[in-house]
Amino acid sequence: MSKSYTPGLKILKSTILSKKRLLPLKGEVHVDKNEAISHDTIVASTKIPGNVHMVNLSKQLNVEPNGVKDLMLIEVDEKIVKGQVIAESKGFFGMFKASVKSPVDGFLLNVSDITGQATISEPALPVEIDSYIDGMVQEVFDKEGVLIQSNCAIIQGILGVGGENKGEIKVLTKTEQDEIISDMITPDLNGKIVVGGSYITLDAYRKAQKMNVSGIIVGGFNYTDLSQLLGFNLGVAITGSENLGTSLLITEGFGKIKMARRTFKLFNSLEGRYGSINGATQIRAGVIRPEVVVALDSDNEKHEEFNEDELVINVGSNVRVIRAPYFGKVGTVAELPSELLKMESETLVRVAKIKFENGEFSTVPRANLEVILQD
Amino acid sequence: MKKKLDQSKVILATDCGSTTTKAILIQCIDGEYRMTHRGESPTTVEAPFEDVTRGVLNAVMELEELSGRKILDGEMFINTCDKGEDGIDLYISTSSAGGGLQMMVAGVVKSMSGESAQRAALGAGAIVMDVLASNDGRMYHEKVKRIRQLRPDMILLSGGVDGGTVSHVVELAEILESANPKPRLGINYKLPIIYAGNKKARDSIKEKLSKISDLEVVKNIRPTLDSENLQPSRDKIHDLFMEHVMAQAPGYKKLMSWADTPIMPTPGAVGEIIKKIAEKEKMSVLGVDIGGATTDVFSVFQGIFNRTVSANLGMSYSVCNVLAEAGIDNVARWVPFDLDKEDLMNRIANKMIRPTTIPQSIDELKIEQAIAREALRLSFYQHKNFAVGLKGVQQERTISDAFDQTMSGQTLVDMMDLDLLVGSGGVLSHAPRRSQSAKMLVDAFLPQGITQLAVDSIFMMPQLGVLSTVHPKAAVEVFEKDCLVRLGTVIAPVGKVKNDKQLMSYLIKHPEGEIEGTLIEGEIKLIKADFIPIECIFKPERGIDLGEGEGEIIEKQIFGGEVGIILDGRGRPELGFSSDIDKRKSILSNWSIALDEYNEEQIYSDDRRMKEDQKLIGFIK
């Protein structure tokens, strides 16, 4: 029997998750292998070089570039404060001296006798990496970071914006097809990760930002609203560095699309627990999906592995069409013909015959279907 | 025994793309090289496999099944060296997996050494993430921050003519030194930096950069103001791509040990084959490869090769960016029905996040091809602005004086001079009808005068590009017989006449009988003809040019193809679009009918369908 796969997102009630937490530059790791850690434990830190400033000594002291080193009052790597005189000309019989002051606090990085410039670096900026989830240190990468293992539930979305945030899970809608509207956002949601059904309006999202909600999870969102939110049209799905305050995770796609029932049920079962959300997405080589991770208290729960077979389109699979002309319609696979079929567009493709919820049948390219996970 | 690569009879070539690894088998049959079989498999650079050779082996296994030829002995290629029925004589590969080669370039003057460095990097197949220049208007610390953020695979530093002032290029080196950049892949090795600037500054550059990087010094990219020497830099980029970048990617060390020639970045290999064809046929060539994420444009005009990559113009991953850059109105002008803006935005955004979907309805296909036209148009616009003659050549100035100059070089791209336009990439190679590919190319590039059109049948230009470096005969033969699908020739008169007036008359000596006629302003016609030489006479009206000057008659042998001969009187250098929406829709439909672009019988009503579609959007239960 022929079958077909759809792109899969992990929706797992309980699994063993291994997560790398790495520094951008080499630094110091603060935890040991097999150490139990909580989501806010600082696991590694480093210092990122500070901003640098160029000071043209040759020009300001009116000397040739190869003469500036002799006029320096401080050494390379020596600390300096803003306004401190760092170089001085010899003047005329000790008078009419010209001097150059440091524009910033920092230290002298180098002096060039070719360009006649001094490079001053601001103090290095400390960077700390936390654990992100509760768990155990599985491996330590010397000076780079750690691999953390955690017993947790994980829900991946199709697209997100905003970086890492944490908070208590709060399901705000009754069903997976209800929308979140502005009136539903109240002050008690401060610091929480809020789950909705099919959609959130732009007004409601903006209100959530004001209320310092940690994250929003919904089935769909309008592309034009996203553009307004970001201040630009999202051209490629590479996100995560937006400074939004409230991370947004879309589980299904653009438009109003009800959240998959299995996803919504899992969020309901996690209500009240503490979770971590990350909107970072990369839909390209090196794919990164936005996610919500909730560490579980007990290790007794039966662990699930990501099962690719659940994403196989078989006869009887529940599917959603992800492209016009049937975009968003939900149905069941009635038949999977093995031969290629010519579509109205004259494209020759592998197809599935779908029985939609209203009882009508249609033929759809398999590439335009995705499995709706059921419990 | 050392292999004689150019004597190879059975050749295996792979291209490890971001998502798919493609393998082709080329065999010499009766003295003629042909691509006999093709296999493909998902690329396996990323988790859970993290070994590119898995995907290569899978694609080769498919080839074995299809060809019946045993190529693998376990996980090793069977090396026949002219003996036996099984195995291969030569294995070559290209790669763009893991995001390809990402470079940053630096030059003293942005429009001079900066552009030369960019040309060198692009020609070698890199994506240029940023061009750093002394006069790029950014503050010192902004440049440092940018270098640290981007984390390129490699940096090419240039600047200054040989013997000229050294201080500017050393200042750039000081910026790099301050930034102390780290490579994208791997935290444990030093970033490769290539210095290709003023030779007088080499010692100072070494002093600044040898501690923080793997510094390589090559000949100056711009030894004098009026000369450019790109090849040493390009060769070094290829070497370092192999030694450093590829060596960091999972499985590549093994793949490199299998290959008989160095693995080349995919776009660099496409450039090689375009150059070879232009050289062999002594023609000017324009090539385009429109992918899911990026669009590459290659050209050879006046014997000069140029390549640009529009990093965020593509048909799936970057499709929203096409919409953002072109604007909804520019996309809509190609669509012969009304569009609801918000609905269209959501549709296109859903294509971005689920890039593998296929247009099912004719309207979806028309929208997709409208976006493709804009992606191609924008990419070509960028190419024209980049493929220019050397700037600053006729000015008697020193480098430092040149900071103020605003003179720009003239573009080398002359559409009247263009002989062959080649398209590649899914939307062009796999369009349901070849006439759609031809029309997309003509609409986006607006060729002038007489131009041949072709598409790459299954995107094998990368493999043929690297093959051309060791076995040019096989590469050229396969390119002409199996790779290129000849679409035909477009005849596009340049100049203005009043509406509905005659642009030219023509006599086409078709083998089935002579065809005589006139081309009216605004009209497009198709004459079916195969890829055979056909004698033609074109008589343009006064003020109208077909390449020999205004009003000059042209007698020429041209070729048809799978589409035929297209006579395009819709206007050059720009197409004229009516501002009246209904009139525009009607004109678009007429153009489509003239070229037999879509199966019009299946379209019961564009407007009716859109209304039905819109009912389906909105709240989905």
Would you kindly state where each structural domain of chain A is located, as residue ranges?
52-121, 158-289, 308-371
Test the A interface: residue of B20, B188, B351, B353 with most A CBs within 10 Å = B353
Query: Which residues numbered 22-41 in A keep a CB inside 8 Å of some CB on B?
Result: 24-26
β B101-107/B154-157 pair status: parallel
pLDDT at B310: 83
A185: pLDDT confidence band, cut at 50, 70 and 90?
very high
Q: Which residues of B443-468 are buried (b: 16+ CB within 10 A; e: fewer)?
A: bbbbbbbbbbbbbbebbbbbbbbbbb
Where does the pLDDT of residue B620 fall: very low under 50, low under 70, confident under 90, or very high at 90 and above? very low
Determine the distance in angstroms separating the CA of A64 from the nearest CA of chain B, rounded to an integer: 12
The number of angstroms, rounded, from the C-alpha of B302 to the middle of its chain's C-alpha atoms is 19
- Give the Å distances, CA to CA, from B46 to A5, A288, B241, B355: 19, 11, 19, 18
From A352's Cα to the closest Cα of chain B, the distance in A is 12
Q: Is B348 on the interface with A (CB under 8 A)?
A: yes
- Element of type H or E holding A180: strand A179-180
b/e code B228-241 from CB counts within 10 Å (16+ = b): bbbebbbebbbebb
Beta strands in B261-373 (DSSP E): 264-265, 285-290, 295-301, 304-310
The pLDDT confidence band at residue B457, using thresholds 50, 70 and 90, is: confident
Tell me which residue has tokens 């009216």: B520
| Rounded distance between C-alpha atoms, residue B296 and residue B424, angstroms | 10
pLDDT digits (tens, 9 = 90+) for B497-508: 887 889 999 999
Q: What is the DSSP letter of B190?
A: P
Regarding the domain with residue range B5-97, which homologous superfamily does it belong to in the CATH classification?
ATPase, nucleotide binding domain (3.30.420.40)
Would you tell me which residues 166-225 of chain A have a C-beta closer than 8 angstroms to some C-beta of chain B? 177, 198, 222-224
Phi/psi for B137 (5° steps) reads 85, 0
Top residue of B146, B312, B344, B346 to mutate, by most chain A CBs within 10 Å, is B346
B620 in reach of chain A (CB within 8 A): yes
| Ranges A161-170, B496-505, B543-552, B556-565: which has the least confidence | B496-505
**Residues B479, B401: contact at Cβ < 8 Å?**
no
Residue B71 half-sphere exposure toward CB, CA atoms < 13 A: 30
Sorting pLDDT into bands at 50, 70 and 90, what band is A7? Answer: low
Q: How large is the average pLDDT for residues B191-212?
A: 94
Tell me which of A316-325, B178-187, B255-264, B374-383 is least confident: B178-187
d(CA A284, CA B98): 9
pLDDT tens digits along B319-340: 988 988 898 889 989 988 887 7
Output the average pLDDT for chain A. 89
Q: Tell which CATH architecture fits domain A52-121.
A: Beta Barrel (2.40)
Q: Is the pLDDT of residue B6 over 90?
A: no
Identify the weakest region by mean pLDDT among A54-63, A276-285, B207-216: A276-285
Residue B406 scores a pLDDT above 70: no
Q: Return the CATH number of the domain spanning residue range B100-262.
A: 3.40.50.2300
Residue B27 is inside which H or E element, if any?
strand B20-29
pLDDT of B85 above 80: no
User: Rounded to 5 degrees, what are φ and ψ at B545?
Assistant: -120, 135
Query: Which residue in the set A52, A112, A236 is minimally distant from B312, CB to CB?
Result: A236
Summarised one tens digit per residue, pLDDT across range B144-176 is 888 887 888 899 999 999 998 888 899 899 999
Q: Is the pLDDT of residue B295 over 60?
A: yes
Window 94-113 of B, Cβ < 8 Å to A: 97-99
Contact residues, chain A, for B170 at CB < 8 Å = 112, 114-115
User: Whole-prediction pTM value?
Assistant: 0.83
User: Which amino acid, residue A99?
Assistant: S
Decide which of B189 and B399 is more confident.
Answer: B189
Q: For residues B415 and B568, what is the distance between their CA atoms, to the nearest angstrom?
A: 14
Domain boundaries, chain B: 5-97, 100-262, 269-389+410-568
Q: Which of A263-277, B16-30, B440-454 has the lowest mean pLDDT?
A: B16-30
Helix B362-386 / helix B434-445 crossing angle, nearest 10 deg: 40
**B141 touching chain A per CB within 8 A:** yes
What's the mean pLDDT in B231-237? 90
* Nearest residue on chain B to A346, alpha-carbon basis: B432
Q: Which amino acid is residue B536, in one-letter code?
A: C
Whether cis (ω within 30° of 0) applies to the bond prior to B267 is: no
Per-window interface: A 39-68 vs B, CB < 8 A = 48-49, 51-54, 65
Question: How many residues does this entry show for chain A?
Answer: 375
Closest by Cβ to B349, choosing from A117, A121, A223? A223
Quote the CA–CA distance of B478 and B468 in Å, as a whole number: 10
pLDDT tens-digit readout, A102-155: 999 999 988 988 889 898 989 988 989 999 999 999 999 998 899 999 999 999
What is the phi/psi pair of residue B373, to 5°? -60, -40
Write out pLDDT tens, residues A206-233: 999 999 999 999 999 999 999 999 998 8
Partner-chain residue, chosen from B145, B363, B616, that has the shortest CB–CB distance to A327: B616
Confidence label for B142 from pLDDT (cuts 50, 70 and 90):
confident
Q: According to the model, what pLDDT value does residue B608 have?
A: 46
Mutate to test the interface with B, among A22, A127, A307, A327 (most CBs of B within 10 A): A327
> Could you tell me which of A196, A239, A232 has the C-alpha nearest to residue A215?
A196
Q: Which of A67-81, A304-318, B523-537 has the lowest mean pLDDT?
A: A304-318
Q: What pLDDT is recorded for position B615?
A: 39
Share of chain A above pLDDT 90, in %: 59
- The pLDDT value recorded for residue B619 is 32
* pLDDT for res B82: 55
Kindly report the CATH class assigned to A158-289: alpha beta
Mean pLDDT of chain B: 86
A236/B144 Cβ within 8 A: no
Q: What is the pLDDT of residue B436?
A: 97
Mean pLDDT of B197-214: 93
Contact (CB, 8 A) for B461 and B273: yes
Phi and psi based region of residue A209 (left: phi greater than 0; alpha: psi -120 to 50; beta: remaining): alpha
- The class of domain A308-371 in CATH terms is mainly beta
| Mean predicted confidence (pLDDT) in B394-400 | 49
Distances in Å between the alpha carbon of B397 and those of A152, B169, B401, B427?
67, 17, 6, 47
Q: Which of A109, A322, A364 is opposite residue B178, by nearest beta carbon?
A: A109
Query: Closest Cα partner for B391 from B231, B228, B201, B229?
Result: B228
**pLDDT over 90 at B300, yes or no:** yes
